[in-house]
């Protein structure tokens, strides 16, 4: 399922934040939404997830405007993982089972299908060893994976991740990004990922959309991003390296 933004404009208390934002997240892709602080990334995500509805333009999930969807319909199509994650005193299995909430009847009972979906998500993310561990005892990387499994258990075609590698060390950042790309290929899901680490984005994303001053400054592949000088013009960075071996960034003086 693809996500399409058409001429989206939004702001707060008459202060414009987004102006005429248009780009597409192709079906089955890992698309990174990047930009410097204040570029409008969080505002655009709030519009997509239904938290903010007073925007102009259109945001379409497989051709249907998100504002016209009931909550139940939207939660069957889109799952989101926020940047800040709580640490509830529940087991990992219980946490992941919360992803099945849109499918659970008023009795609150998980069906065999729901339980199987939870088990599949835990297995897909590779956290079987933590199945019965309490969430508030997990490391940062383990916590991210547990919540990621929860979004996978929701079984939506589109997944939105807001700064999924924030506060992780280098090893866990690479591990989590590899997990996202692997899940995209194996499950055919469409990922929209907000990130800041340009070298990692260039290595792992299929597509990149750059917001600058509330508008789309670039949309395309990582290769096109480098060829057109986006790191220098939008981020004042010089990029060295390759997709195969990784990239490094230094300030462009």
- The string of pLDDT tens digits covering residues 85-125 is 999 999 999 999 999 999 987 667 899 999 999 999 999 99
Alpha helix stretches (DSSP H) within the chain: 41-49, 71-77, 92-97, 112-125, 140-153, 170-187, 198-204, 222-227, 230-235
- pLDDT, tens only, 136-169: 999 988 999 999 999 999 999 999 999 998 888 8
Token output for 222: 């990582």
pLDDT of residue 108: 75
Which residues of the chain fall short of a pLDDT of 70?
106-107, 253
DSSP 126-137: T-GGGTTSBGGG
pLDDT over 90 percentage in the chain: 77
Mean pLDDT of the chain: 93
The whole-angstrom separation of Cα 39 and Cα 18 is: 8
Structural domains of the chain ordered from first start: 3-85+156-251 (3.40.50.300)
Task: Quote the tokens at residue 206.
Answer: 């299929």
d(CA 180, CA 66) in angstroms, rounded, equals 24
Q: What is the pLDDT of residue 38?
A: 86
Q: How far apart are CA 132 and CA 227, in angstroms?
A: 48
Which pLDDT value is given to residue 14?
A: 83
* Rounded distance between C-alpha atoms, residue 128 and residue 119, angstroms: 9
Predicted pLDDT of residue 107: 67
């Amino acid at each position: 399922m693809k996500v399409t933004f058409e001429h989206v404009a939004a702001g707060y208390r008459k202060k414009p934040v987004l102006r005429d934002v248009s780009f597409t997240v192709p079906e089955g892709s890992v698309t990174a939404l990047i930009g410097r602080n204040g570029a409008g990334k969080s505002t655009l995500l709030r519009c997509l997830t239904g938290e903010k509805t007073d925007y102009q333009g259109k945001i379409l999930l497989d051709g249907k405007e998100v504002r016209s969807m009931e909550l139940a319909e939207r939660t069957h199509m889109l799952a989101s993982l926020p940047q800040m994650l709580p640490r509830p005193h529940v087991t990992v299995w219980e946490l992941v089972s919360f992803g099945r909430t849109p499918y659970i009847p008023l009795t609150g009972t998980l069906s065999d299908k729901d339980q199987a979906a939870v088990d599949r998500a835990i297995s897909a993310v590779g956290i079987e060893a933590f199945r019965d561990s309490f969430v508030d005892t997990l490391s940062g990387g383990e916590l991210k994976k547990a919540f990621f499994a929860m979004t996978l258990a929701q079984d939506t075609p589109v997944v939105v991740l807001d700064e999924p590698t924030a506060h992780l060390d280098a090893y866990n950042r690479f591990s989590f990004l590899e997990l996202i790309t692997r899940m995209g290929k194996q499950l055919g899901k469409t990922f929209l990922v907000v990130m800041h680490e340009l070298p990692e984005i260039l290595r792992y994303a299929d597509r990149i959309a750059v917001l600058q001053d509330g508008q789309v400054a670039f949309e395309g592949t990582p290769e096109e991003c480098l060829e057109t000088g986006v790191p220098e013009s939008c981020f004042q960075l010089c990029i060295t390296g390759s997709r195969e071996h990784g990239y490094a960034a230094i300030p462009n003086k």
